[in-house]
Amino acid sequence: MIEVVLIGLAAGVVSGLLGVGGGILFVPALVLLFDSTQLAAQGTSLLAIVPAALVGAARQHSYGNARLREGVVIGALSAFGLSVGLRLANAAPERLLEVGFAGLLLLTAFQLVRRAWSERPVRSPRPRTRRPRLAHVFGDWRRAPTRDLAGVAAPRRTNKLLWQLLGW
C-alpha cells in the first residue's frame, strides 16, 4: 500500500509542476510495479485522475490560468471520445495497448524536446493574470482606493458605500 501512496504523491507533484495528466505516471507504474494488465491500469488511472484533475483545475482557475469555455468543450467532447476509445480498448489485444501507450509517450516526449530546443520561444496564448480578490474588485475603504468593476479607479466614498451595502 505504501507504493500506491508514493505513486499518488509523485503523480500529483508532477501533474502540478508540469501540467501533465496523472495517467502518464499511473499507467506505467501500475503495469511495471504492480504487475497489472494494461487495460486494468488504464481503468484505474482514469478513476484516479478525477480528484486530481478537479483540484488542479480549481487551483489553475483561481490563478486565472484556466479557460473555462475551452475546458468545457474539450471535456464534453473527450467524454464522448472516451466511450468510443473504451470500447476499442476492450476489443484490442493487450500488446497493442501497451505499444500504443508507449508510442504516445515517446511522441509526446519528442514533441516537447523539439519545442524546448527550438530557436523561437513559445509564447503563452494570453498573459497570465491573477484572479482578483473581493477587496481588489470592490475596493477596501480602509486602505488606499483600488478599482471598481469596470477597472476604473474608484473614489474612496464609492468603495466605502459598496462595503456598507454588502455588509462588510
Q: What's the pLDDT at 140? A: 46
In terms of Cβ atoms closer than 10 Å to its own Cβ (0-12, 13-18, 19+), residue 11 is: buried
166 or 13, higher pLDDT: 13
**What percent of the chain stands above pLDDT 70?**
68
Mean pLDDT of 44-71: 85
Q: How confident is the model at residue 112 (pLDDT cuts 50, 70, 90)?
A: confident
Q: 3-29, pLDDT tens digit by residue? A: 888 888 887 787 777 767 677 888 888
Could you tell me the sign of the dihedral formed by the alpha carbons of 30, 34, 38, 42, in that order? negative
64 contacts: CB under 8 Å, gap ≥ 6: 128, 129, 130, 131
Q: Where are the domains of the chain?
A: 2-117, 134-166
In terms of Cβ atoms closer than 10 Å to its own Cβ (0-12, 13-18, 19+), residue 26 is: buried
The pTM (predicted TM-score) of the whole model is: 0.56
CA-wise closest residue to 155 among 146, 164, 163:
146
Average pLDDT across the chain, whole number = 76
Q: If DSSP codes are grouped into helix, strand and coil, which group holds residue 128? A: coil
Residue 70 pLDDT greater than 60, yes or no: yes
Q: 131-146, pLDDT tens digit by residue? A: 555 555 444 444 544 5
